[in-house]
Amino acid sequence: MKIFPAIDIKDKKCVRLLKGNFDNKKIYEISPLEQAKKYKDFGFNYLHIVDLDGALTGETVNLDIIEEIVKKLNIKIEVGGGIRSSRKLQKYIDIGADKVIIGSAAVKDQNFLREACNKFNNQIALGLDAKNGLIAISGWKEDTKLSAIDFLRDVNSFELSRLIYTDINRDGTKTSPNLDETIKIAGISRAPVIVSGGVSSIKDIENIKNVKNKNIEGVIVGKAIYDGDIDLKELSGFLDA
């Protein structure tokens, strides 16, 4: 199982949001690079990074910080946050990102997602963020009436390298992931699926690892690490050999 410790960047700092609410954020003293190094030191070779400033502005605001993490630590990152053009995709590819996550832009323009998958082979991940089964976009500030499952069926033939399914109601809450819904998504998706939102304890990691659906590739862990609910050494024991 792949484990993706999370780093959300806002104003050059590590932060965690509650249910995607920018007005309800917790700021951590450690810098994004220091946090990434901490993960690397414990044997984690994958990171999930979100440029929250980018999600709000549509610009690659923290590109320099993300590039420094990739170059100094030689670590595989999936990165997202306001990526709405091929030019911005190229910027992340050029600094060595393993996967680039397209979310809102994919929902607004399926052709953009298709073309990105064709141009950047095996490097495009779809960020599917849902609240009560319905997709939310634009930094989760805009709700839609579009079912996550229906949208996935529309784009399932695209050559996605990964699908990250986030239950917004669980994100940052440490109330355990919505595994039932994620398993449904994984049962439909042609791309491997990452569990996201709500991880609270090592028990949650055990539950995900024990899921029978082999299309679940891994899990993103964020706030539970920062708040000390999950010990990195213990978590590293679940890494793929």
Structural contact between residues 219 and 202, judged by C-beta atoms closer than 8 angstroms: no
167 is catalytic: no
Identified catalytic residue from 8, 53, 171, 204: 8
Identified catalytic residue from 51, 98, 129, 204: 129
Note the helical H segments in 95-201.
104-108, 110-119, 148-155, 179-188
Alpha carbon distances (Å) from 239 to 84, 162, 217, 234, 235: 32, 18, 11, 10, 8
229 is catalytic: no
C-alpha 160: how far from chain center: 14
Residues 6+ away with beta carbon under 8 Å from 154 = 110
| Residue of 157, 166, 93, 111 whose CA lies nearest to 135 | 166
**Active site residue ranges:** 8, 129
